[in-house]
């Protein structure tokens, strides 16, 4: 999840968040053993992938010069999306609908995250809520090679399964194949990302760049073997240029990647940063670097973006967001934008949401621009 390169502050949640976790646990039941007996969302780990989704592909594909291609690249403009956290009752639909009401439009794309526990809450691709939202929106599923230790990764604590083990097929039968079959049964095309912000996972013990590439290609090959051709593959990095060498080593190759994703923020006073970077300054360096050093052939997704507030100038957030339509037109490879609508700690200076005030006003204005008005395909 977001900004792993920002350091341990991202994971150090305070008592406010712990209370929310307690409520989640009370509502969902005690976490059981996950993969290999690790603590995690093992509530349904005994029967991963049961109750396959219905095929959601329906209707006719959009036509015309602006219609998206087979890899979901819109011919004109870009998709407008967001990551919205679950509410304390473990609903995703309610907070998404509430967010859309605030911003005055339907999202094109909803981004969600999953672990590899096999549990129904977080380890099952295409939950009932995702399927509901996917009826008239695109979905982006991020699948982490970890087992989370609390519902919806509330405190970002997890157990690594290891890229070497993924590449060796250790989890194919129990975890990976059943979830691939779920995605195949869904039918409709979805964006899919394996271990997003992968450049930050090396220091977390996931493995080496070579092991990641092997794991990624193994997963890709399993999808192809099982016929889940509706996955559109997004290779996502933090985009932090201090990890430039690692990002080069982690790229699986153009044959295995449909989109490239980047997660860049204006943290300002959050996570020990001090400089204010406007939207252009926060995004363009990584955008340019990826095109020059990874691939100029692929569409780019701003898979997570947001700005922290400036307590001395609340209106600064409004300007940051309202500048997006003009700036993004000068970055033609960006074909999707996904706002990270979640605070990274309980500190007000790390509140990246656009739920109210100048931030909401700027974001709402940006999302109303015609550049972000595309016809979402139904299949």
CB 339 within 8 A of CB 302: no
In this structure, is residue 36 part of a structural domain?
A: yes
In this structure, is residue 268 part of a structural domain?
A: yes
In this structure, is residue 278 part of a structural domain?
A: yes
pLDDT of residue 344: 82
pLDDT of residue 360: 98
pLDDT of residue 271: 84
Q: Is the pLDDT of residue 142 over 90?
A: yes
**What's 20's domain CATH number?**
3.20.20.80
pLDDT, tens digit (0-9, with 9 covering 90-100), for 34-56? 676 565 655 544 455 568 999 99
pLDDT of residue 26: 40
pLDDT of residue 358: 97
CB 109 within 8 A of CB 138: yes
Task: Find the range with the poorest average confidence among 44-48, 152-156, 313-317, 346-350.
Answer: 44-48
Tokens linked to 303: 């898979």
Tokens linked to 269: 């006073």
HSE (CB half, 13 Å, CA atoms) of 224? 9
Closest to 167 measured CA to CA, from 195, 196, 191: 195
Domain count, the chain: 1
Q: How far apart are CA 97 and CA 104, in angstroms?
A: 10
Q: Is the pLDDT of residue 267 over 70?
A: yes
- What kind and span of H or E run contains 263? strand 259-266
Helices (H) and strands (E) in the chain, counts: 11, 10
In this structure, is residue 377 part of a structural domain?
A: no
Tell me the chain's radius of gyration from C-alpha atoms.
19
Overall average pLDDT of the 73-84 stretch: 97
Helix (H, G, I), strand (E, B) or coil at 260: strand
Does 262 or 6 have the greater pLDDT score? 262
pLDDT, tens digit (0-9, with 9 covering 90-100), for 276-311? 999 999 999 999 999 999 999 999 999 999 999 999
Helix (H, G, I), strand (E, B) or coil at 104: coil
Task: Find the range with the poorest average confidence among 48-57, 94-103, 134-143, 175-184.
Answer: 48-57
* DSSP-assigned letter for residue 310: -
- What kind and span of H or E run contains 147? strand 146-148
Mean pLDDT, the chain, integer: 90
Closest to 234 measured CA to CA, from 196, 260, 254, 215: 260
Q: Is the pLDDT of residue 372 over 60?
A: yes
Task: Find the range with the poorest average confidence among 17-26, 79-88, 322-331.
Answer: 17-26
Q: Is the pLDDT of residue 31 over 80?
A: no
In this structure, is residue 238 part of a structural domain?
A: yes
Does 274 or 173 have the greater pLDDT score? 173
201 Cα distance to chain centroid: 15
State the residue range of the domain holding 110: 4-372
- Residues 6+ away with beta carbon under 8 Å from 75: 64, 65, 66, 67, 68, 69
In this structure, is residue 16 part of a structural domain?
A: yes
pLDDT, tens digit (0-9, with 9 covering 90-100), for 208-235? 999 999 999 999 999 999 999 999 999 9
Tokens linked to 66: 């602006």
Tokens linked to 64: 């015309």
Strand partners, 235: 260
Q: Is the pLDDT of residue 313 over 60?
A: yes
Q: How far apart are CA 327 and CA 279, in angstroms?
A: 8
pLDDT of residue 68: 96
Overall average pLDDT of the 173-200 stretch: 97
In three state form, how does the secondary structure of 4-67 look?
HHHCHHHHCCCHHHHHHHHHHHHHHCCCCECHHHCECCCCCCCCCCCCCCCCCCCCCCCCCCCC
pLDDT, tens digit (0-9, with 9 covering 90-100), for 330-357? 999 999 999 999 988 788 889 999 999 9
In this structure, is residue 379 part of a structural domain?
A: no
């Amino acid at each position: 999840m977001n900004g792993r390169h920002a350091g341990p502050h991202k994971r150090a949640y305070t008592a406010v968040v712990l209370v929310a976790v307690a409520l989640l646990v009370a509502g969902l039941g005690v976490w059981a053993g996950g993969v290999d007996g690790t603590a995690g969302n093992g509530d349904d780990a005994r029967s991963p992938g049961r109750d396959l989704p219905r095929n959601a592909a329906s209707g006719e594909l959009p036509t015309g010069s602006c219609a998206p291609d087979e890899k979901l690249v819109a011919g004109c403009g870009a998709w407008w999306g967001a990551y919205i956290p679950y509410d304390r009752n473990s609903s995703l639909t309610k907070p998404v609908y509430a967010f859309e009401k605030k911003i005055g439009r339907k999202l094109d794309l909803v981004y969600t995250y999953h672990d590899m526990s096999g549990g129904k809450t977080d380890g099952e691709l295409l939950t009932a809520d995702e399927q509901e939202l996917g009826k008239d929106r695109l979905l982006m599923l991020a699948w982490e090679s970890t087992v989370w230790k609390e519902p919806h990764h509330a405190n970002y604590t997890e157990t690594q399964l290891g890229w070497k083990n993924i590449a060796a097929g250790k989890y194919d039968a129990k975890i990976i194949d059943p979830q691939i079959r779920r995605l195949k049964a869904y039918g409709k095309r979805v964006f899919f990302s394996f271990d997003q912000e992968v450049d930050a996972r090396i220091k977390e013990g996931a493995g080496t760049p070579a092991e990641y590439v092997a794991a990624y290609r193994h997963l890709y090959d399993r999808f192809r073997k099982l016929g889940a051709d509706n996955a559109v593959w997004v290779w996502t990095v933090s985009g932090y240029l201090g990890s430039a060498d690692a990002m080069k080593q982690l790229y699986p190759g153009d044959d295995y990647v449909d989109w490239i994703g980047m997660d860049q923020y204006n943290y300002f006073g959050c996570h020990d940063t001090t400089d204010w970077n406007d939207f252009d300054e926060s995004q363009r360096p990584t955008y340019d670097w990826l095109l020059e050093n990874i691939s100029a052939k692929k569409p780019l997704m701003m898979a997570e973006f947001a700005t922290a507030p400036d307590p001395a100038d609340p209106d600064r957030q409004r300007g940051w967001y309202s500048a997006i339509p003009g700036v993004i037109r000068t970055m033609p490879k960006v074909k999707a934008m996904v706002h990270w609508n979640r605070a990274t700690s309980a500190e007000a200076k790390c509140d990246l949401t656009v739920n109210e005030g100048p931030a909401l006003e700027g974001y709402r204005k940006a999302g109303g621009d015609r550049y972000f008005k595309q016809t979402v395909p139904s299949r």
